[in-house]
Chains A and B, each alone.
Chain A
């Protein structure tokens, strides 16, 4: 069991740049895969051939980018129906989406847009998440996003908002540590205090990724390796809460599969050593 949990620290996001490799080779050291749900809304061809092969070899989880739990106009019922059909076909270990809004009036930004941290938003988002969980018949994880602007009407901190939504919706959290780091820099809050404030029992998954420095802000570009400061925050979380399924996201300048698997191995080793430190302290 302990070993299994440690293996769960070695996940990667499935990207089409690796389709050929994965069709021809074993996934190697990568213990599990995350797919972007909407990329599998079309029914066939090569993407599904790769997914069916991987599904037979490793656990797969579904990560959505378009549910829009924070959309003022509400989650689309049609979207939920399509997602439910996909869940039936993929049989994911769990599902997740983002704590953000993503469109208006039936249109999609295809982006993760920031919410104001108000009581109104907590109630609205939590009700939408409960609705989605009811329709899908399962609990979901919500991911904290990177952001570049805040709102004057916000009445609480980001981490207070995240925890309040999770408590009221009774959902899990996908803690993206790179997003915490990026937003902490952009808005001037303490990333360490943020990750410390997330209840251990709610953390169902962790994301790690690279970002880029744009001078006066950090940009969540997923275009390179995880930086040391993010690894340090990761260790801090694992030493507190124990092993958590962890996944490396890499979306631009995508490296070879071997390089990506190496990054996943690094997460696995760091998780193992943080767990040992935790056990020794206990």
Chain B
């Protein structure tokens, strides 16, 4: 038997510690498929044996499970610990971690749930996962200076139409995890807040992720709702005051 080089050794090691049902089952699978004839006997290349390799397999899985349990605590509570464990097993097989930070691990979890069998029994689980992920994302999104009510009050009336409006980096509009309608999730200071949105705000706020002038936003509302222009201006002015108070808008001056 030839000595494995570094890449061969790591490929084998990786396959075994990420095997979904443990190292022993992973070895059987490799033997069955016959695509790595040197993988068995383990003793020929490893000092320590299956139990010691299982330490690494367990660390791999349980560290990742712990991260997802924390990021998706409500999903776990909804489906129960056993089903969540199985769901994570399937997820990690489909999407092994591909980012250097554990914080990114749950990035595809909601989309994965939406396509998984579990969605048949729990049709709103993907929504709940999207909600929990939004909270994770806004928690450490970039800090930006926010527009203050005093700045708004000090604005000359003819400067209002050109006022640039853009939501902060730490804001997401998502479907409410339970019930209907949309939910705003955002961070103020260090704390994550949320509140339901009415249909109008739910349409307008996502547009502001890219930024619009006050005038363009009035125009958008006018086109969306057919509101008279003067009404649209009044309505947007009220919303902008509210969003400013909620520290939802960037200071772009």
Query: Interface residues, chain A, CB within 8 Å of chain B?
Result: 38-39, 41-49, 66, 70-73, 76, 79, 82, 101, 103-111, 113, 115-116, 118, 120-121, 124, 148-153, 187, 217, 219
Q: In this assembly, does B96 line the interface, its C-beta being within 8 Å of a C-beta of chain A?
A: yes
- Cβ contact of A41, chosen from B6, B44, B103, B139, cutoff 8 A: B103
Query: Does B52 lie within 8 Å of A44, measured CB to CB?
Result: no
**Contacts A41-B100, A44-B140; A148 near B56 (Cβ below 8 A):** yes
- Inter-chain CA distance A217–B54, complex, in Å, is 13
Query: Does A107 lie within 8 Å of B47, measured CB to CB?
Result: no
Interface residues of B in 31-80 (CB under 8 A from A): 44-49, 52-53, 55-56, 59-60, 63-64
Q: In this assembly, does B5 line the interface, its C-beta being within 8 Å of a C-beta of chain A?
A: yes
Number of interface residues of B (CB under 8 A): 43
- Inter-chain CA distance A25–B59, complex, in Å, is 35
- Inter-chain CA distance A124–B99, complex, in Å, is 23
Q: How far is the CB of B75 from chain A (nearest CB, A)?
A: 21
Query: Which residue in chain B gives the minimum CB-CB distance to A67?
Result: B100
Known: A41-B103, A108-B97, A113-B10. 5 other contacts (CB 8 A): A45-B190, A72-B11, A149-B47, A149-B48, A217-B52
Q: How far is the CB of A68 from chain B (nearest CB, A)?
A: 9
- Inter-chain CA distance A27–B115, complex, in Å, is 48
- Cβ contact of A45, chosen from B5, B97, B187, cutoff 8 A: B187
Query: Interface residues, chain B, CB within 8 Å of chain A?
Result: 3-7, 9-11, 13-14, 17-18, 44-49, 52-53, 55-56, 59-60, 63-64, 96-103, 139-143, 169-170, 187, 190
- Inter-chain CA distance A113–B141, complex, in Å, is 31
- Cβ contact of A110, chosen from B4, B46, B47, B63, cutoff 8 A: B63
Query: Does B100 lie within 8 Å of A79, measured CB to CB?
Result: yes
- Inter-chain CA distance A47–B139, complex, in Å, is 9
Can you list 16 contacts pairing A with B, beta carbon distance less than 8 Å?
A38-B100, A39-B101, A41-B100, A44-B140, A45-B139, A46-B140, A104-B11, A113-B56, A118-B6, A120-B6, A124-B6, A148-B55, A149-B46, A149-B47, A149-B48, A151-B45
Query: Does B47 lie within 8 Å of A151, measured CB to CB?
Result: yes
Q: How far is the CB of A240 from chain B (nearest CB, A)?
A: 30
Query: Does B47 lie within 8 Å of A150, measured CB to CB?
Result: yes
**Contacts A38-B102, A41-B100, A66-B100; A109 near B14 (Cβ below 8 A):** yes
- Cβ contact of B97, chosen from A43, A110, A153, cutoff 8 A: A110
Query: Does A149 lie within 8 Å of B6, measured CB to CB?
Result: no
Q: How far is the CB of A116 from chain B (nearest CB, A)?
A: 6
Query: Which residue in chain A gives the minimum CB-CB distance to B47?
Result: A150
Query: Does B103 lie within 8 Å of A108, measured CB to CB?
Result: no
Query: Which residue in chain B gives the minimum CB-CB distance to A149?
Result: B48
Query: Which residue in chain A gives the minimum CB-CB distance to B11?
Result: A104
